[in-house]
Structure 1
Amino acid sequence: MERTGVDIDGADETAGGTLVRDSGARPVGAASGEASKAAHEVLAVVFQIREGRLCVLLWRRARPPFEGCWALPGGRLGAAEGLGESIRRQLAQKVDVRDLTHLEQLETRGDPDRHPHGRTLATAYLGLIPADIDPVIPRDTRWHPAAEPPVPEPSAPEPPAMAFDHAAIVGSARRRLRAKLSYTNVGFALAPPEFTMSQLSRYYRAALGHDVAATNLRRVLLRRGQIEETGESVPSGRSGGRPAALFRFRARRLEITDAFAVLRPPAGC
């Protein structure tokens, strides 16, 4: 199946930061006074399911502040750039990431002391890459399990392993993804074009952080009209048995399918 390109969704909720929508306009900032002199950067939390784990793309800083620490990719907003335009440029130029199937604005952080070199606003984005793509990334860039802090390099100060407030931003992105898996079809951006329900349940398990039964997930997603059978099947594996049906998401752009749904952990978890 041919990919439909990047899905860019405006921010619809915030997880600890100030909400700023991006409609392609210039960045929102203070109107006057000292706050208007603040720098503005864009950051990306890029997630992918890798070897059964939700991983985040980080790069190691080569100079102060936080030299040797892991950080989210991003950089300063250009004077003539919109927010979405800037983050796509930063990802392409700095970590060679162009295979996003979903990109949405996450939050804007403006704590006065978040950057040691002066007042800096940070607008963060959440990006997703399907599990069947293996991006070629620079040597100073790595995938880290999102649920675990990265191990600091020998040259990094202790603590933290992550620079600035980037660990908190990753936490916000994880919460956003878990929420959207409940009430939208955003799973399309984590999965390949075609998949078995066993595979899809593993992707959901990695992103949600708890077990997801394939039979229950199939029932829920079919009822919501998110997925459909392709008519094809694959061998079920070493144990034999019936071939496993292949499914696909009916749409590969973000859709709200059940506004009040929550995919909760199984009882006892």
Structure 2
Amino acid sequence: MLIVVFQVRRFPDTQGGTKTELGVLLWQRALDPEAGTWSLPGGRLRDDEDLTTSARRQLAEKVDVREVAHLEQLSVFSDPHRVPGPRTIASTYLGLVPITSDPHLPEDTAWHPVSDLPAMSFDHGVMVENARTRLAAKLSYTNIAFGLAPAEFAMSTLREIYCAALGYQVDATNLQRVLKRRDVLTPTGTTAPPGRAGGRPPALFRFTESRLRVTDEFAALRPPG
């Protein structure tokens, strides 16, 4: 089993600043085969556990990631030659970690921007791309963004999460209108602290549900233009 864990994070940019992007959790292989490349976290299924329980256990034990807001099965990779040695079939999972979570990672483990992956082990790069495609699709027709968002948020924060996960810009006003129409968001009745520039404090929202729900099965969020 292998788990593609995504989190929206800030990464260094080429100008000496930072940018918000979708990150994926990887660990660096110390031994052959393919020593030095980066792998998805995972491991073997125990006799007494199901796949979902195993995925959560392995994330907690191996990379100390315990705050996984959403976990779902992706696909099975069964190419007989996908790894050297005995045939190994990999069941893959998608995991989402809220933007506010900051797990203490082992030294050989790090977050990497999905847009700039390092040298990946075996077929793990394909797995990351499959998971990114699944996430982008489900952002259109489900409430899956709850897995990436904090408990309460301003619309500007939610827009930033959507932009990072989708890989293109999203208008905050349109996003709020669409999500409220689908009964995805609930106003908290409170506001965030005002920024340095002053002005009206932004209203805070939360997701109506913290479990996956189809909100519009025919919807599709598309890039501008």
TM-score normalised by the shorter chain: which range applies?
over 0.9
The TM-score with structure 2 as length reference comes to 0.93
Map 1:93-132 to 2 at 5 A.
93-132=61-100
Selected match of 1:66 from 22, 34, 38: 34
Quick one: which amino acid aligns to residue 71 of structure 1? S
TM-superposed deviation, 1:234: 2.0
Paired residue for 1:84, among 12, 27, 52? 52
Question: Residue 156 of structure 2 is aligned with which of 188, 198, 205?
Answer: 198
For 1:132-167, what per-residue CA distance to the aligned partner results, in whole angstroms no more than 9, with x for missing partners?
Answer: 1101111110000012122xxxxxxxxxx1101000
Alpha-carbon distance between aligned partners in 2 of 1:143 and 1:190, rounded to the nearest angstrom? 15
TM (normalized to structure 1)? 0.78
Q: Which of the two has greater helix per residue?
A: 2
Q: In structure 1, what is the Cα distance between the partners aligned to 2:54 and 2:193?
A: 44
Q: Which stretches in structure 2 are left out of the alignment for 5+ residues?
A: 11-19
Contact 1:235–1:242 under 8 Å retained in 2 = no
Report the Cα distance in structure 1 between the residues aligned to 2:174 and 2:193, rounded to whole angstroms: 21
Q: Secondary structure at the match of 1:246?
A: strand
Structure 1 residue runs of 4 or more that deviate by more than 3 Å after TM superposition: none
Q: How many residues align?
A: 216
Deviation at 1:131, TM superposition (A): 0.4
Question: Partner of 2:163: helix, strand, or coil?
Answer: helix
Shift of 1:228: 1.5
Paired residue type of 1:113: H
Q: Does 1:46 align with 2:14?
A: no
In the alignment, which residue of structure 1 is the partner of 2:212? 254
Structure 1, unaligned runs of 5 or more: 1-41, 151-160
1:13-64 per-position Cα deviation (integer Å, ceiling 9, x unaligned): xxxxxxxxxxxxxxxxxxxxxxxxxxxxx00000001121100000011111
RMSD: 1.0
Bigger radius of gyration among the two: 1
Post-superposition offset of 1:236: 4.2
